[in-house]
């Protein structure tokens, strides 16, 4: 088997993770699931390369190419990047995630998964970021506090009900703005697409996704996306998107308008966190180059 293997319609691969080295086996699907809390996606198959995006626990990814211990993957927003093979598992190896069983979706910024129904006896098995899905093994209806869940790698644990929902719903614009404020102070992270840290476009993409809409990953692609319409600055309403840069053809930053002349964004300006800024303040009013409304 050569070092570089390209997945085609004829030959697709399943990742088999054991205590021995990684093995690639011919299989009929290239669909995988992320099994770590946050998997960085790199520009090349090397940890020395820049992070271009992320996928989180339970995200579906499509493997496009394998190079040694790395896989080139595509996320559901059509973004591609390289991540370690040991960050993903074939859907056939995470059967609880490919069926029609109940799923719990993390609604807290983070959710600890424990080995037992006690937060004091042991450290968490793992910490799942916001939006992660957990396969429900037992709803434990006689226990109002806990759910028994299975992680993508098959590990069994317990999550507190207050951290998840069994019935996720599409948010309204006011609800998505309230959601955005829950992340105030979260560190800015280049390439970030998780509640461990967002970058500017990862943050707005998540907020629009909470409204049931999959938007492109990068700020310039978002501004040019067919799912938005241009509006004038004096037409801004809460939920509209703002794009900043040196020109409309060179967009480098984005945020979401929340009303009263304010917008929320993940930025490195002044202090690198999710924060609320005023559109009339500098440098924002000077470098605002496009305003968009999601259709």
User: Which active-site residues does the annotation give?
Assistant: 200, 253, 265
Q: Give the whole-angstrom CA distance, residue 187 versus residue 21.
A: 35
Q: Describe the crossing of helices 173-181 and 200-209 by its angle, rounded to 10 degrees.
A: 140
- Sequence-distant (6+) residues with CB within 8 A of 18 are none
Q: Is 6 exposed, middle or buried (0-12, 13-18, 19+ CB in 10 A)?
A: exposed
> Considering only CA atoms, which of 213, 159, 195 is closest in space to residue 56?
195
How far apart, in whole angstroms, are the C-alpha atoms of residue 239 and residue 159?
Answer: 32
Rg (CA), the chain: 20
How many Cα atoms are found within 13 Å in the side-chain-facing hemisphere of 105? 10
Of 162, 135, 114, 123, nearest to 57 (Cα)?
A: 135
Supply 180's token pair.
Answer: 């955005």
Is the separation of the CB atoms in 54 and 195 below 8 Å?
Answer: no
Q: CA distances (Å), 267 to each of 94, 193, 208, 236, in order? A: 36, 14, 18, 21
């Amino acid at each position: 088997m050569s070092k570089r293997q390209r997945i085609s319609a004829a030959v697709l691969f399943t990742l088999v993770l054991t205590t021995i080295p990684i093995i690639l086996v011919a299989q009929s699907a290239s669909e995988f699931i992320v099994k770590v809390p946050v998997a960085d996606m790199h520009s090349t198959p090397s940890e020395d390369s820049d992070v271009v995006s992320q996928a989180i626990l339970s995200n579906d990814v499509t493997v496009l190419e394998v190079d040694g211990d790395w896989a080139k993957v595509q996320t559901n927003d059509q973004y591609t990047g390289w991540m370690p093979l040991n960050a993903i598992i074939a859907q056939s190896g995470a059967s609880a995630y490919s069926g029609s069983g109940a799923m719990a979706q993390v609604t807290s910024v983070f959710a600890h998964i424990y080995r037992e129904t006690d937060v004091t006896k042991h450290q968490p098995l793992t910490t799942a970021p916001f939006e992660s899905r957990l396969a429900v093994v037992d709803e434990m209806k006689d226990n109002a506090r806990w759910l028994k869940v299975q992680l993508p790698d098959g590990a069994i644990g317990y999550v507190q009900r207050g951290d998840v929902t069994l019935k996720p719903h599409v948010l309204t614009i006011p609800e998505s703005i309230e959601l955005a404020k829950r992340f105030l102070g979260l560190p800015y992270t280049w390439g970030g697409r998780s509640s461990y840290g967002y970058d500017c476009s990862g943050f707005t993409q998540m907020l629009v996704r909470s409204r049931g809409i999959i938007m492109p990953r990068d700020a310039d692609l978002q501004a040019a996306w067919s799912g938005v319409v241009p509006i004038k600055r004096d037409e801004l309403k809460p939920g509209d998107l703002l794009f900043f840069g040196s020109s409309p053809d060179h967009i480098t930053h984005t945020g979401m308008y929340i009303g009263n002349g304010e917008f929320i964004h993940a930025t490195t300006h002044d202090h690198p966190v999710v924060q609320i800024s005023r559109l009339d303040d500098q440098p924002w009013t000077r470098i605002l180059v496009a305003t968009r409304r999601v259709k």
